[in-house]
Structure 1
Amino acid sequence: MHVSLLRGVGVATAVYGALVALRPDLLAKPSGLVDSDGSTADATAVSLRPLGWRDAASGLAMATAPAGAPLATAALLRVAADFGDAVLLGATLPDRSTRLKAVAVSVGWGTLSVIGLLAPSGVDRHQ
């Protein structure tokens, strides 16, 4: 397990998640979930805020969980969330271009966590 990589993914996820919870436009705009004038509808913002909190919580867990099984569990939850996002957003976002971008970003972040989980234990001295 590459603890430093998992912690870095956790911190980045926690920060982004908190920002999305506070400003849902950060996710709505690149996902094509804005109105024709570029604004995010209140209902959309309400729907996106829990995703931000989910990411903030799972990222915080990755950043702070003790190395070993607790960190692996936090990382696996993050992987499930990222790959789940890829499937759901890839199937439901409004246009093909935003679907492809959302899938690429979600799979990319999930893959970083998988790499962190599968890296040989000797790779990271901070375990």
Structure 2
Amino acid sequence: MRVNLLRGVGAATALYGLAVAARPDLLARPSGLVDPDGRTAPATAVSLRPLGWRDAASGIAMLTAPAGPALTAATLLRIAADLGDAVLLGGTLPGRGTRAKAVAVSVGWGALSVAGLLVHERKE
């Protein structure tokens, strides 16, 4: 397990999640969920804020869980969320390019977490 990598993924996830919860436009714009003027509808913002909180919570769990089974569980939760995002957003967002980007980002973050679990620390 690469604890430092997992902590880094957790920190990035937590910060991004808090940012999206505060400003849903950060997720709405790249996801194509804005009106033609680039504004996020209030209902869309309400729907995106829980995703931000989910990411913040899972990231904080990865940051604070003790190394070992607790960190593994927190990381598996993060991986499940990333894979769920890839499937759900990849199948439903408007526009083929937008869906492809969402899948790439989700799978990329999930892959970092998988690597953090599977790659062992180097012993010096």
Q: Unpaired segments of 5 or more residues in structure 2?
A: none
Q: Note the alpha carbon deviations across 1:67-114, whole angstroms, 9 max, x for none.
A: 000000000000000010000000000100000000000000000000
Aligned runs of 1:16-55 on 2, under 5 Å? 16-55=16-55
Q: CA deviation at 1:123?
A: 2.8
Residue 16 of structure 1 aligns with an amino acid whose one-letter code is Y
Aligned to 1:3: 3
TM-score, normalised via structure 2 length:
0.98
Aligned runs of 1:55-70 on 2, under 5 Å? 55-70=55-70
Aligned to 1:85: 85
Runs of 4 or more consecutive aligned structure 1 residues displaced over 6 Å after TM superposition? none
CA distance in 1 between partners of 2:115 and 2:12 (Å): 16
SS in 2 for 1:31: coil
Q: How big is the alpha-carbon RMSD for the aligned residues of Structure 1 and Structure 2?
A: 1.1
Residue 122 of structure 2 aligns with an amino acid whose one-letter code is V
For residues 96 and 118 of structure 1, do their structure 2 counterparts lie closer, same or farther at Cα, with a shift above 3 Å needed?
same
Aligned to 1:123: 122
Q: Unpaired segments of 5 or more residues in structure 1?
A: none
Residue 45 of structure 1 aligns with an amino acid whose one-letter code is A
Equivalent pairs counted in the alignment come to: 124
CA distance in 1 between partners of 2:87 and 2:5 (Å): 24
CA distance in 2 between partners of 1:53 and 1:44 (Å): 15
CA distance in 1 between partners of 2:107 and 2:34 (Å): 23
For residues 108 and 124 of structure 1, do their structure 2 counterparts lie closer, same or farther at Cα, with a shift above 3 Å needed?
farther
Q: CA deviation at 1:124?
A: 7.5
CA distance in 1 between partners of 2:89 and 2:123 (Å): 33
TM-score, normalised via structure 1 length:
0.95
